[in-house]
């Protein structure tokens, strides 16, 4: 164990050293000196490995089955604690038993609980983005940059596995991974019931309360994706990568299959086609879209966890760069202007389209794991300027004061200090019931930084769309 820890620490040092120059020059180019300090120190310090315990779908009135789920969750919690996991003290009460912090060197990929789909590897700051979105049972949710699907799975659990989720991503390769994640965690399969819409596709189109979750994954550009949650598919059929209504869960399980063979793939694609019901394309679709607009249709919640420079998260950066790809990093491809060019435009395009897909009164969350104001506040400010119906909705309901507010109130200059002593103080404050983040420069947005609160970096903004005929 000690050897493993030493090896881990040495590797971290080596990689961190490698990253420093790239991050520093990225931050300088980003044009914000304050940010340059923040970004560079984001790669310092070691963030714990967070896990989230899977919450299984309730099985309705089946008391015995529900009790089994509770007991299983309890057993998993005990195993997590035994593995060195500790509770995250500032999690809201309803989530205090779902996120745990493990030592940074903990390898979850080899952990049976992870392999068996009982826990997710997910940073707790990402959990805050989902709490801010606040999905409710029966909602229709759009996740516009969904891969590999960790937030999507948490959204499904917050919805008690009822309603609809449409996951969109531009990368077919990443969607394949996302699809595996959904299968592993049984998202889209509620209450152990195999939904069989192939025989009656329209039956599950409008989810009634308690109806099982319908989840679909679509390969499309989030900047122009426009299919309503209840509409027939407006794009190419082959772009639907997964549709839980057609998915043969029981068959997969019975075969103990991980990868599908050609025959199974063909059968699934035929089932998907039937689910998509191409006969409903065309005029019907337009009619539905008009009706949706008149009735103030659209998604109840939209999540845009946008592609970004990943500079707030060393772990993400290393993943993006490729752990051993030091040559590429040294040669400047990683975080280079060339690689990041067009990113802000993409983020603005994603946010604009996300807002258009939102129903009046609906809630949208925009997040990135960058600390760059250009990719965060500026993108949000751009939308607020463009869209008269967009209102920035301060994220306050987590119920804890932000560390920086408390320091400011005490006159200790907590709002904008980059001082390490204060960062340490902040870590202690987390244990005393403060949220380990700051306000972003737009009021009510949140900025998590690794050095301030033992989490990966994450910016979160919440936007509401005004109700029809309303000023609010
Ligand atoms: C930060 S990751 C999303 C992580 C995901 N929300 C989760 O929690 O697992 C950003 C994703 O955006 C996708 N992406 C990039 N450009 C896109 C576009 N134009 N439309 C849709 N997705 C896009 C990337 O393929 C990547 O999977």
Between 321 and 242, whose confidence is greater? 242
Interval between CA 307 and ligand 1 midpoint (Å): 5
Residue 246 CA to residue 248 CA, distance in Å, equals 6
Residue nearest to atom 19 of ligand 1 (CA): 221
Q: pLDDT by residue (tens digit) across 247-276?
A: 766 666 666 666 666 776 666 666 666 665
Residue 398 CA to residue 436 CA, distance in Å, equals 12
Between 35 and 166, whose confidence is greater? 166
pLDDT of residue 231: 67
Q: 191, 160 in Cβ contact below 8 A?
A: no
215, β-bridge pairs: 165
How many angstroms separate the first and last alpha carbons of the chain? 57
Percent of the chain with pLDDT over 90: 36
Interval between CA 335 and ligand 1 midpoint (Å): 17
Binding site membership of 176 for ligand 1 (Cβ less than 6 Å): no
Residue 212 three-state SS: strand
pLDDT of residue 335: 67
Q: 458, 123 in Cβ contact below 8 A?
A: yes
Of 107-116, 224-233, 395-404, 441-450, which has the strongest mean pLDDT?
107-116
Q: pLDDT by residue (tens digit) across 347-387?
A: 999 999 999 999 999 999 999 998 888 899 999 999 999 99
Residue 449 CA to residue 455 CA, distance in Å, equals 7
Binding site membership of 221 for ligand 1 (Cβ less than 6 Å): yes
Ligand 1 binding pocket mutation candidate from 131, 218, 307 (most atoms within 8 A of CB): 307
Locate the ligand 1 atom nearest the alpha carbon of residue 178 and give its number: 9
Query: Is the sign of the CA dihedral 451, 456, 457, 459 positive or negative?
Result: negative
Burial of 58 (0-12, 13-18, 19+ CB in 10 A): middle
Locate the ligand 1 atom nearest the alpha carbon of residue 147 and give its number: 27
Residue 355 CA to residue 7 CA, distance in Å, equals 46
Tell whether 419 is in a known binding site. no
pLDDT of residue 334: 60
Catalytic residue, candidates 308, 369, 430, 437: 369
Per-residue pLDDT at 119 exceeds 50: yes
**Nearest residue to 126 (alpha-carbon basis) of 102, 166, 79, 91:** 91
pLDDT of residue 396: 76
Residue nearest to atom 27 of ligand 1 (CA): 147
Lowest mean per-residue pLDDT among 168-182, 189-203, 212-226, 245-259: 189-203
Residue 459 binned pLDDT confidence (cut-offs 50, 70, 90) = very high
Between 377 and 59, whose confidence is greater? 377
Residue 150 three-state SS: helix
Strand bridging mode 446-448 / 299-305: unpaired
Q: 219, 174 in Cβ contact below 8 A?
A: no
Residue 424 binned pLDDT confidence (cut-offs 50, 70, 90) = very low
Mean per-residue pLDDT, 440-459: 84
pLDDT of residue 147: 96
Mean per-residue pLDDT, 113-134: 94
Structure tokens at 429: 């404050």
Locate the ligand 1 atom nearest the alpha carbon of residue 168 and give its number: 21
Lowest mean per-residue pLDDT among 24-33, 90-99, 126-135, 191-200: 191-200
- Active-site residue flag, 369: yes
Binding site membership of 159 for ligand 1 (Cβ less than 6 Å): no
Per-residue pLDDT at 216 exceeds 50: yes
**Nearest residue to 150 (alpha-carbon basis) of 169, 163, 137, 136:** 169
Residue 399 binned pLDDT confidence (cut-offs 50, 70, 90) = low
Binding site membership of 182 for ligand 1 (Cβ less than 6 Å): no
Tell whether 169 is in a known binding site. yes
Locate the ligand 1 atom nearest the alpha carbon of residue 148 and give its number: 9
Q: pLDDT by residue (tens digit) across 60-94?
A: 777 888 888 889 999 999 999 999 999 988 887 77
Binding site membership of 169 for ligand 1 (Cβ less than 6 Å): yes
Instruction: Identify the residue whose tokens are 């990093």.
Output: 329
pLDDT of residue 171: 93
pLDDT of residue 356: 95
Per-residue pLDDT at 51 exceeds 90: yes
Per-residue pLDDT at 443 exceeds 80: yes
pLDDT of residue 120: 97
Interval between CA 57 and ligand 1 midpoint (Å): 26
């Amino acid at each position: 164990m000690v050897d493993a820890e030493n090896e881990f620490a040495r590797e971290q040092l080596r990689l961190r050293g490698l990253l420093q120059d790239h991050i520093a020059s990225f931050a300088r180019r980003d044009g914000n000196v304050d940010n340059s300090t923040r970004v560079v120190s984001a790669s310092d310090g070691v963030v714990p490995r967070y896990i989230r315990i899977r919450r299984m779908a309730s099985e309705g009135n089946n008391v015995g089955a529900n009790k089994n789920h509770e007991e299983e969750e309890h057993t998993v919690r005990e195993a997590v604690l035994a593995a060195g996991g500790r509770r995250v003290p500032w999690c809201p009460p309803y989530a205090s038993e779902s996120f745990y912090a493990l030592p940074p060197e903990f390898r979850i990929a080899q952990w049976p609980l992870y392999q068996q789909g009982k826990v997710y590897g997910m940073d707790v700051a990402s959990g805050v983005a989902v709490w801010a979105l606040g999905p409710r049972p029966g909602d229709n949710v759009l996740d516009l940059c969904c891969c590999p699907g960790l937030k999507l799975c948490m959204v499904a659990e917050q919805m008690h596995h009822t309603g609809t989720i449409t996951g969109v991503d531009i990368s077919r390769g990443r969607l394949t991974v996302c699809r595996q994640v959904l299968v592993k965690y049984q998202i889209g399969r509620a209450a152990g019931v195999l939904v069989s819409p192939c025989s009656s596709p329209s039956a599950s189109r409008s989810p009634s309360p308690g109806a099982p979750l319908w989840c679909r994954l679509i390969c499309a550009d989030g900047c122009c994706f426009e299919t309503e949650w209840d509409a027939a598919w407006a794009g190419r059929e082959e772009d639907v990568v997964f549709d839980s209504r057609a998915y043969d869960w029981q068959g997969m399980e019975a075969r103990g299959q991980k990868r599908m063979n050609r025959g199974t793939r063909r059968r699934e694609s035929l089932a998907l086609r039937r689910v998509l019901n191409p006969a409903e394309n065309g005029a019907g679709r337009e009619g539905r879209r008009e009706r949706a607009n008149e009735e103030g249709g659209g998604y109840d919640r939209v999540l845009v966890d946008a592609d970004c420079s990943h500079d707030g998260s060393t772990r993400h950066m290393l993943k993006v760069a490729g752990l051993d790809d030091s040559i590429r990093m040294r040669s400047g491809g990683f975080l280079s202007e060339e690689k990041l060019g067009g990113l802000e435009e993409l983020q603005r395009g994603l946010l604009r389209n996300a807002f258009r897909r939102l129903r009046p009164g609906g809630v949208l969350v925009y997040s990135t794991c960058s600390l760059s104001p250009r990719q965060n506040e500026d993108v949000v400010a751009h939308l607020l300027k463009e869209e008269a119906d967009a209102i920035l909705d301060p994220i306050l309901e987590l119920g804890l004061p932000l560390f920086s507010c408390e320091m400011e109130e005490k006159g200790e200059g907590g709002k904008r200090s980059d001082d390490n002593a204060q960062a340490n103080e902040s870590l202690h404050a987390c244990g005393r019931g403060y949220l380990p983040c700051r306000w972003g420069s737009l009021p009510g947005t949140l900025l998590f930084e690794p050095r301030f609160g033992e989490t990966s970096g994450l910016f979160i903004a919440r936007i509401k769309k005004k109700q029809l005929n309303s000023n609010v």
